[in-house]
Chains A and B, each alone.
Chain A
Amino acid sequence: MGNPIIQVENLVKSYGNVQAVRGVSFSVEEGEVFGLLGPNGAGKTSTVEILEGLRDLDGGRVSVCGLDPQRDSQSLKHEIGAALQSTSLPDKLRVMEALRLFSSFYKRHRNPEELLKRFGLEEKRNAFYSQLSGGQKQRLALAMALVNDPKMLFFDEPTAGLDPQVRREIYDIIEELKREKKTIVMTTHYIEEAERLCDRVAIVDHGKVVALGTPRELKTRSGGSTRIEVRLAKPEPDGALQKLDGVADARELDGAYVIHSHRPPQTIVAIVKHLEAQGNELVSLEIASPSLEDVFIEMTGRRLRD
């Protein structure tokens, strides 16, 4: 591999008796968008905040931009930009004041006017932070991550709680940053976000990386099979669907049956026939090409949004 800007080896972090991160390892190349995908509480935020120098680690080794976030946190902070989760600004701080204030903290800085324009906040320049909508607050958070023109960006759940349209705006911004060859580490629990934005994804669950690769690699790893999700009038006994034609894997999940098939047409016919013979009925049927969600289900036996 080329030139890792981030290296994480066997990272461990505990809060009291709870082990939030249990031996996470990965590396991030310069210019790459790297995603940590996983449900809430998987240890994504802890991992990212250790990389940012906000939290101390309990075990393992971490290097960011050639620096140790714990020892050299002061110099590291000049090199990185971050949009944190569960953060805020003073209610009575104006948008332009926030950008000016935060850019004053750095040796190197970018013109706040230009950032204001780029993030579509020109009309809001004199608005108080408390007067901004959720989307505007998030755009400001991303703009503020750029005030020092950093090479390395951290976005922790950049679209959490935003409506779909605003979410797409944020995707456009991140894609633009990607074209500028910024290195980005982002966390998310949205599959489509990881698939659309990330060059490589680490799927994280219970403080461990359960799979790592490009979205395409991860999907082929799930067997390249088509996913068929059916809801039935009556429950089927265990293993009955597994025996049908073309079925690679079948399991029950939240009252539905998720079936992976190598030959979808034959499988569907087999399902219908089987149900007829059992006197059962098909309530709904969905067919999808494999997604990262399937990979996640396969690795953890749970849906991502549990």
Chain B
Amino acid sequence: MRNFATLTRMRIQLTLRNKMFLFFTVLMPFAFFFLYAGVFAKGQPMVVKFFLGPVVALTVMGSFWGLSAALVMFREQGILRRFHVTPVTASDMLASSIVANYILMFPTVLLEFFFARSIFHVTNFGDLLATFILISIGTISFASLGLVVASVTNTMQETQVINQLLWLPLIFLSGATFPLAFLPHVVQNVSLFLPATYLVQGLRRAIFESAPIGDHNILVSLGSLVFWAVLTFFLSAQLFRWEPEVKVPRKAKLLVIATIIPFLLLGFWENKYGDIPAQAQSAFDSLNGPQKTAPPPNSPKEPDSPK
């Protein structure tokens, strides 16, 4: 436990000394934030609030980039070997990565909420508890995804390629960049198989529609992300390699497929019985005012006037 604490402190210190980190973890999310809030939402408080979920989700999901890259670099440079000859365990190493990432990411999210309030006059942030828990679970599960990527790639180049391949569908098919309501029906169906969708839609529902923890779809989001975080963390601990020349074992690929199964099942279930796309649609429609579509039963009572 003490090893975990001192390692976490080291990771935070090192990350703060790294300029690349500041770019990806601080500047990029704010660039997204101002793009969405200023350009897409044209600064209208109601629309900014609608986009806050996706923007926060992007910040949270971005975790896995830095985390996988840092771990692979540690391994390639023989830094992990040095820790291996001490009593530090793989779980110490992995858990400290996740916690350090969480501590570093949180101020960025808080600043996004702060800017939404101070610059764009968003006065109500929906259900804060549900939002907080979703952000926390989301950060941990996407950080674990980064650790799995680090475990199943041998070199930095491989890591970056896999990261790109994961990142694009995660941001484009989940509603994080284009609202789910915008996307064709087929893509909506596909999106229900992606963990990112449950984070993005869960956050939108908690922030924009003020849905509490007990809400059905919030529970679906939380449950699936918690399950996935546990699974990916366990997997990354199993596949953890200290030595640069030890290659990914064959069984690794099978185990990785195992992490996809829960979302495969959930995706089928939600496609058949769920109402996530419908909810996303009505939330989106509510932005265009009640004259076009009837407000959804659970639409927020906002003091800010919609467009």
Contact = CB atoms under 8 A, between A and B. Distances in A.
Interface of A: 52-54, 74, 77-78, 80, 82, 84, 86-90, 92-93, 97, 101-102, 104-106, 144
A54 B81 contact: yes
B81 A101 contact: no
25 contacts: A52-B85, A53-B85, A54-B85, A54-B243, A74-B87, A77-B87, A78-B87, A82-B85, A84-B81, A84-B82, A86-B78, A86-B81, A87-B78, A88-B79, A88-B82, A89-B82, A90-B74, A90-B79, A92-B13, A92-B18, A93-B13, A97-B10, A104-B3, A105-B86, A106-B86
Nearest to A107: B87
B245 to A, nearest CB: 8
Interface in B69-126: 74, 77-79, 81-82, 84-89
B190 to A, nearest CB: 40
B10 A102 contact: no
Interface in B31-74: 74
A277 to B, nearest CB: 57
Contacts of A106: 86-87
Given A54-B242, A84-B78, A105-B86, 11 more contacts: A84-B85, A88-B77, A88-B82, A89-B82, A90-B74, A92-B18, A93-B14, A102-B86, A104-B6, A105-B3, A105-B6
B272 interface: no
Contact of B10 (A54, A86, A88, A101): A101
A105 B87 CA distance: 6
B251 interface: no
Given A101-B6, A105-B86, A106-B86, A89 B17 contact: no
A121 B18 CA distance: 24
Contacts of A52: 85
A129 B180 CA distance: 48
Given A97-B13, A106-B86, A87 B2 contact: no
Contacts of B2: 104
Contacts of B7: 101
Contacts of A104: 2-3, 6
Which residue among A80, A92, A97, A104 has the maximum number of chain B CB atoms within 10 Å of its CB?
A: A104
B3 A87 contact: no
A119 B86 CA distance: 20
A89 B3 contact: no
A104 B5 CA distance: 10
A84 B155 CA distance: 22
A92 B17 contact: yes
Contacts of B81: 54, 84, 86-87
Sorted from nearest, which 8 A-B pairs have the closest CB atoms?
A92-B17, A87-B78, A104-B6, A105-B86, A88-B77, A87-B82, A77-B87, A82-B85
A144 B242 CA distance: 19
Contacts of A53: 85
Nearest to B7: A101
Contacts of B85: 52-54, 77, 80, 82, 84
Interface string B1-21: 011001100100110011000
Contacts of A74: 87, 89
Contacts of A77: 85-87
B237 to A, nearest CB: 15
B228 to A, nearest CB: 30
A53 B79 CA distance: 17
Contacts of B87: 74, 77-78, 105-106
A174 B243 CA distance: 27
Given A92-B17, A92-B18, A97-B13, A87 B79 contact: yes
B27 to A, nearest CB: 19
A78 B6 CA distance: 17
Contacts of B10: 90, 93, 97, 101
A77 B88 CA distance: 9
A87 B242 CA distance: 11
Nearest to B242: A54
Contacts of A86: 78, 81
B246 to A, nearest CB: 9
Contacts of B82: 84, 87-89, 144
A219 B88 CA distance: 43
A86 B14 CA distance: 21
Contacts of B243: 54
B86 A88 contact: no
Contacts of B84: 54
A107 B79 CA distance: 22
B88 A105 contact: yes
Query: In this complex, which of B2, B7, B10, B84 has the most chain A Cβ atoms within 10 angstroms of its Cβ?
Result: B84
Contacts of A82: 85
Contacts of A89: 79, 82
A106 B86 CA distance: 8
Nearest to B74: A90
Nearest to A82: B85
A76 B82 CA distance: 15
A93 B6 CA distance: 13
Contacts of B89: 74
Contacts of B86: 77, 102, 105-106
